Amino acid sequence: MGLVYGAITNKITSADINSITLTSATIDTANTGNIGPSGEWQIKVNHTNCGCNLTQVDIQLKDNLNWTYITFEMDTTGAAACWGWNHGSYSSSGNLYGYDEGQGDRIFESINSWELPQFQSHNRTVACDNDSNNFMRYNENGPRVFAMKRRRNVNGSLAAISFGRACNCNGTTIVRNIRIW
């Protein structure tokens, strides 16, 4: 995964996970664990709701290492008009700062998502609309994949990767290649 530019990163394994909180989602245990290419931890969840009820997943990390940056890859299927990634709507903030490219936050290594011209003008961390630039609503051609780099609010509280969706019917999300530094 790019965008760390020589930084020494720490891969996340199951020993680094403090808790997983699920709302209208189930863990696909066959695709969850230290099964990444380098032995890193990943999780696959099934979003079990259908309609506009919320499905949300929070992956809280332990504080056994000092870190201020995190990268992770998302691989998601199924349509959703409403969604959020560490925003506060449809997900928690996860104790990460608000997405700000001016501060170094980035979305990169996109497939079927942000790299496509029709989706580039949409907000990067939250939506609840049927606008044609909402990639989670209108792009169902294969999985949508992207990596995200975010900044941690180092205030003594644990941090989490948080994502959620609503106004959808089923789908999956895989979170993998989690690195902190």
pTM over 0.85: yes
Q: Residue 98's pLDDT is what? A: 94
Cα–Cα–Cα angle for 122, 86, 67, rounded to 5 degrees: 125
Domains (ranges, CATH) in the chain?
A: 10-180 (2.60.120)
Cα–Cα–Cα angle for 82, 87, 90, rounded to 5 degrees: 35
**Number of C-beta neighbours around residue 11 at 10 A:** 15
Q: How many alpha carbons fall within 13 Å on the CB side of residue 23?
A: 14
DSSP-derived letter for residue 115 is: T
Residue range 6-61, pLDDT digits in tens = 678 999 999 999 999 999 999 999 999 999 888 999 999 999 988 899 999 999 99
Those residues with Cβ within 8 angstroms of residue 26's Cβ, 6 or more apart along the chain or in another chain? 45, 46, 48
Residue 149 pLDDT grade (very low, low, confident, very high; cuts 50, 70, 90):
very high
Buried b / exposed e along 32-51 (16+ C-beta atoms within 10 A): beeebeeebbbbbbbbebee
Q: Residue 32's pLDDT is what? A: 96
Alpha-carbon gap, residue 109 to 123, rounded angstroms: 17
3-state secondary structure of 1: coil
Residue range 35-44, pLDDT digits in tens = 988 899 999 9
Alpha-carbon gap, residue 78 to 173, rounded angstroms: 9
Q: Residue 92's pLDDT is what? A: 85
